[in-house]
């Protein structure tokens, strides 16, 4: 797998300036990073790419990555799954990532292919809106966060179920060694 990754073209990360391998998802993520900063008003330091997290299934610990995580004033408010192709095929994975990457989870989850997006409520998985315009601006997300109660932490049993869902998507994720 590493040989495949090394032969892929590299792209410059919009947020950090680092050279990254394009695993198919990277060009989508770069477009969304630019959208979040230039059109939605987020500060680059409020956007974390490849947020590492770990979760437990039984006694085994597993690593995971959240493609993009947005925090304002230190509060995680949204994660974004950026990948080419169908949005519906990535919804469940995106929700699992949001629920595992933070405790308690951020209120919003976005899945996007760079041309379209779905904004979901993390707790319920309900689709709130669609289209790139549905991705909230910094001002919109701050207002929403101020008006809403803090999300509830997940139970250990629920975290384990979300971990199993996340692992089920492992074959279609960008391999960790490509990062």
Query: What is the pTM for the complete model shown?
Result: 0.88
Q: Which CATH architecture has domain 24-178?
A: Alpha-Beta Complex (3.90)
* CB-CB contact of 97 with 112 (8 Å): no
Query: Which pLDDT does position 1 carry in this prediction?
Result: 41
Tens digit of each residue's pLDDT (9 = 90 or more) over 65-124: 999 999 999 999 999 999 999 999 999 999 999 999 999 999 999 999 999 999 999 999
Q: pLDDT averaged over the chain?
A: 89
Tens digit of each residue's pLDDT (9 = 90 or more) over 9-37: 788 889 988 888 777 788 899 999 999 99
């Amino acid at each position: 797998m590493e040989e495949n990754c090394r032969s892929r073209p590299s792209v410059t990360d919009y947020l950090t300036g680092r050279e990254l391998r394009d695993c198919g998802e990277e060009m989508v993520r770069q477009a969304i990073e630019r959208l979040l900063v230039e059109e939605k008003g987020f500060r680059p330091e409020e956007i974390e790419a490849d947020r590492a997290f770990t979760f437990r299934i039984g006694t085994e610990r597993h690593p995971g990555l959240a493609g993009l995580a947005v925090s304002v004033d230190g509060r995680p408010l949204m994660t974004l799954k950026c990948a080419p192709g169908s949005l519906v095929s990535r919804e469940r994975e995106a929700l699992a990532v949001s629920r595992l990457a933070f405790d308690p989870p951020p209120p919003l989850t976005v899945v996007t292919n760079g041309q379209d997006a779905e904004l979901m409520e993390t707790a319920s998985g309900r689709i709130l809106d669609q289209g790139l315009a549905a991705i909230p601006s910094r001002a919109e997300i701050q207002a929403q966060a101020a008006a809403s109660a803090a999300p509830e932490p997940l139970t250990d049993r629920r975290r384990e179920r979300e971990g199993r869902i996340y692992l089920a998507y492992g074959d279609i994720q960008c391999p960790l060694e490509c990062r």
